[in-house]
Each structure stands twice: as C-alpha cells, then as structure tokens.
Structure 1
C-alpha cells in the first residue's frame, strides 16, 4: 500500500528523499525520502582532489533543539570515500543501533561547496524521526546515525557511493561527485516493537475473522464473511496496546495485511514482504480510511479495518487488483509512532 498521492519530501531532514511509504496510490510497497531513498550501491567513492575530511566541519551554538547551530567549513571540499563522523557535543546513555528510531534536527550541506541544501531548523520544521532499520533509508544516513547518543551533536559525511551514487540529486543541489555533510542534534532514541503481543479479542459480528497460525511475525489468515460488505468504514481493536497514543502528523511503523472483501485475495502485505512499513498518518498521505482510524490508537495495538471505496482508492480503484467498487480489509499492527 502506498501513499494516497505522490509526495516529494525534499523537506524531510535530509533533502535526501522522496517520501513514499505504506499507503500511496498504488497497492505495492515501497518508500523513499531524502533520508529515505535506497542508498547507492557499487564501488567506493574517490575523494575529490585536494579534499579534506569531516574534521574540517565545526558547529557552535547551544544544543537546545530550537536554535540552529552555526556550521563552518574550515576547508573545502569535504569529500570522503566512506561514511565518517565526528562527535561535536557528547551525549549520554545507550548508543543507537539499527533496531532504534532516532529523533533529530539536522542541517544538510553539499560538502564540495559548503552550501546548505536542507535546514531542519527553518521555520515550520520540527524534530524528525528515522527508524534506522528501514531498508529504504539512504545507507550513509543510517550509518551516520548508528552509534549516536541522546543529547549528542554529530557531524558525518555521506559519499556518493553511500548516498545518491553517480546520478547525484539535482533537486537538492547534490552532484554526482559531491559528498553530503550532515550535522545532526539527537533529541531522543528508542527501540521499536518487533511484534504485537497480547490476547486477541474476536472480531465483532459481521466482520472478517483474523487468525495468526504462525505467530505475530508472520502474515495472518483473514476469513471474510460471505455477506455484503459494510457501506461505511468499520474498525475493531483486536489487541489494545500499552504504548503512546498515535498523534496526527506522526510517522508510524506498522505491519499490515490487506485483502479484498469480495474474494479474500491478498493485494498487499508488509508481513509477506518481511519488513514493516513507515508512513505519515493523519495528514492526507495515506488513504482516508487509515487516517480516520489509526490516529488515536496506541502503539502495540492490532487493528482490523474494513474500508469501502469512498475511504479507500475511490471509484478509480488502484492498479490491476483493486477496482473502484472494492471494499478493502486490513489487519494493522502498530509497532511505533514518532
């Protein structure tokens, strides 16, 4: 399931991504963002002639997540063959791992010119979260934020081979040979749930039956009643989580499984792909049926949704599997909200 409409998020803490996540106008999965766009692969980058490393980057000013640091390049170009980092302000507590979601404010620079290409401190921006285990994150971005601590200010480089590759990203002013420099202030970090646990309540009468014969880490079996589909969106919390309440505008991490009411056929499933999905909620970036039901739920909950076309993909349907008259059934496990 993809976003309800294409969303270019050249704002998302990096200018490094096209933010696409579970819930768009196509029922296949995917997802990219300035920080999320699968990192480049191939041979290691070669630093530019006369290049210097991350030690040439300094940042001064309070670390209060309100005031943007003053970032300077003592020399240019900053260009590296691998991700390199330097702690500018020491944090405390556990170091982040790929199992964690890291909450940051960041400034992003072109290491060749020193030009600021994305400013997470500009008016209207707030802290942004990134689950480091996402397979769609820029590889160098995830590497640079692995091993950080709460309260830390860190600078790190992302060479082309760990970023946008030889294509660069002209939309944000990154050329094919440019190393990206990130200065990030780490507000918090936490581990996402890996599965939803608890005693599952039965589905309400008239709604599909949900079973997990292989446990909560594998796709469920959904049995749809042989009756007419509901004409309005229906929801049921099968397991009530004990985590934070999902707020409008947050990004949620979820496992989900979608079938058609008419025949029970699967049209999309993050469980079947083997990895949860991340997407903004309550802001029109997913189908209306998700925005209307998942805001206000608690992390750790399992939710059953039945969504008619009006709250799904409308009369146009989506792709080859979902027609304009199809009612959708989802099972959603909410693993995180940030």
Structure 2
C-alpha cells in the first residue's frame, strides 16, 4: 500500500543534510522522484516475504544474520513457534505493528530463499492479523516481545499453499523463518497527537535546542540506532502546524550523521515512550529558502515534536 510521506520524513530517509554551511535546501523534485522507491516500509514487507525477491538467495554479507538454522527436515503439520532468545516488555497483539529482521529457508532441506539482514533493512509487519504477509506470519508474530528471536515452522497451507513461487519455493512447500523482533509498535491514536509545540516561540535561532515534554521510561535511543517515531512539524515563530505522521504508520530513521540534521542531532538520548520538542534553525532543517510546499517561509525556525515509540 502506497502512502503519502511528509516531506520532512522523506528528506530524512534519503539522508539529506538539507542545509549545511551553504544553506542550500534539497529540491522538491528530488524528493518526489525518490520517495516511492525508498520510504514505503509496508511495500518492502510485502515484497520481502511474498513475491519476487524469493527468486534467488542473496549472498551472505551481514554478520548478524542467523546461519545455523535447525530446520525440521520434514513438513510441520501445524504452525510451530519456538522462542530461541527471550525478549522483554509488552507482548504483541492483534493490530500492532512488529519491526523485524528475518531469514527464510525451506523446512525440508534448509535451502535459503530470502533474508532481510543482507539488505540492512528491517521492516514493519502490520497491522497484525491483517498484514499483507503469509498467514504463518500474521499468526506466529502474535504474543512476541521486543528483543526476542524466534523460529516459525510453517505448514504449506499457511505459507503459499499449492502455488509455486519460484524454483526454490515449490508447490506445497513448508517454510521455516528465524526472526529477530526489533520493536513492537501499538496502533497510533490521532487523538493523542500534539496540537501545539509545547515550547516558546523562536525566531532567528542559531543552534538546535530541545525540551522533553514527556520523559520516556523505555529503552534510550543511542547514536547509530534506528528510531521508530511519530512527529508533528510546527512553525517555530507562530506555532502553526505544517505536517504530521500520526494518521499513518510510524517512521523508521537511522540516527546517522548524514541524515536530516535536526532529527539525528536532536533525538538521541530520548527514552521510548517520550515526547520531545526540537527547535531548529533553517541551517539544520530546510535551508534559508524554507519550503513552500508545506507552508514554511524562508528564514523560519521549525519545531519538530517527536513521540518515540521504538528504538533498535
């Protein structure tokens, strides 16, 4: 399912250091040309588990990928869920979104057909119970905890059934997946979205500042990790809301130095469950020219209110 991504988030995912010393903003055209190929995590999940990426096994490159998989060697008669490493925190429920990495092999002989580790791209599976993945995933990912590693041994009728997907996944093929649960995200409630920035107005800021409006009591986001969050973007001078992600899935962005400066500099140190208001000058956001597409005038500070819902 394609979706409209707020321009701020698109820039972040594309690794755009928008302004820098020369204060040149990234063009809207570049964003529009790239967004469909980069940011649709739901499409990544569909393709990764259900379609053309199973044509050939990727070359192993990631040291994090499980390689010693105890495939059953016979067809399971029902879905079998084995917890290999225990997680902690709340268990996933119907309607939640689960961020995962996985490797998939044939249950009969252990031949690999796909994995996400080599792509370095965990993805969102959700909402559970209705996610566009095989039934073995929708059922097998219920009741899991963040940090867990589990093995799903899936009978063919809960995988692809009589339909052969490739030379590797044949008709009536049972499948085995080893899955790392990166984060569990509860469905967003738009009524809980912030309606104001929560901080004083700002004009002519020369550096980034932030204030924690709600202290998070979960895992602390560190540099180099990936943040899962919702945001609302405000003009800092008058508090007008410009954009929001609260009506869709949360966003995943690595805390990488090449990313959107206001986010990657202002978010580390947040606790999951927290809300932080980040005030940024144009040089750390959209540049001196602003962004007319979202109603941001030239030379205008911004406030980004972040609700951190996961970190891994």
What is the TM-score when the length of structure 1 is the normalising length? 0.54
Q: Distance in 2 between matches of 1:242 and 1:194?
A: 18
SS of 1:333 mapped into structure 2: strand
Q: What is residue 59 of structure 1 aligned with on the other side?
A: none
CA 1:104–1:330: 2 relative to 1, 3 Å: closer
Between structures 1 and 2, the one with greater helix share? 2
1:288 maps onto 2:286 in alignment: no
Q: Any stretches of 5+ residues in structure 2 without a counterpart? A: 1-5, 16-29, 51-63
CA 1:334–1:74: 2 relative to 1, 3 Å: closer
1:143-200: CA deviations, max 9, x gaps? 264236555311446559xxxxxxx9xxxx999x9x99561245687665978xxxxx
Equivalent pairs, count: 255
Superposed CA RMSD in Å reads 5.3
CA 1:302–1:186: 2 relative to 1, 3 Å: closer
Once structures 1 and 2 are overlaid, which stretch shifts more, 85-94 or 139-148?
85-94
CA 1:285–1:268: 2 relative to 1, 3 Å: farther
1:82-120: CA deviations, max 9, x gaps? xx9544678889974246565755214699xx6633363
How far did 1:294 drift? 0.8
User: 1:245·1:296 contact (CA, 8 Å) conserved in 2?
Assistant: yes
Q: What is residue 332 of structure 1 aligned with on the other side?
A: 306
Report 1 or 2 for greater relative contact order, CA contacts < 8 Å, sequence distance ≥ 6.
Answer: 2
Q: Distance in 2 between matches of 1:334 and 1:109?
A: 34
1:257-277: CA deviations, max 9, x gaps? 111235433221123x2x451
Match for residue 151 of structure 2 among 124, 148, 153: 153
User: 2:102·2:179 contact (CA, 8 Å) conserved in 1?
Assistant: yes
Match for residue 219 of structure 1 among 166, 171, 194: 194
Q: What is residue 254 of structure 1 aligned with on the other side?
A: 229
Q: What is residue 68 of structure 1 aligned with on the other side?
A: 67
User: 1:252·1:336 contact (CA, 8 Å) conserved in 2?
Assistant: yes
SS of 1:292 mapped into structure 2: helix
Match for residue 183 of structure 1 among 157, 177, 185: 177
Match for residue 314 of structure 1 among 287, 306, 311: 287
What is the TM-score when the length of structure 2 is the normalising length? 0.57
Q: What is residue 18 of structure 1 aligned with on the other side?
A: none
- Where in structure 2 are the equivalents of 1:121-140 lying within 5 Å? 130=124, 132-133=126-127, 138-140=132-134
Q: Distance in 1 between matches of 2:128 and 2:215?
A: 25
Q: What is residue 4 of structure 1 aligned with on the other side?
A: 11
CA 1:107–1:266: 2 relative to 1, 3 Å: same
Match for residue 213 of structure 2 among 228, 234, 238: 238
Q: What is residue 53 of structure 2 aligned with on the other side?
A: none
User: 2:231·2:306 contact (CA, 8 Å) conserved in 1?
Assistant: yes
1:116 maps onto 2:113 in alignment: yes
Q: Any stretches of 5+ residues in structure 1 without a counterpart? A: 9-23, 46-64, 76-83, 161-167, 196-214
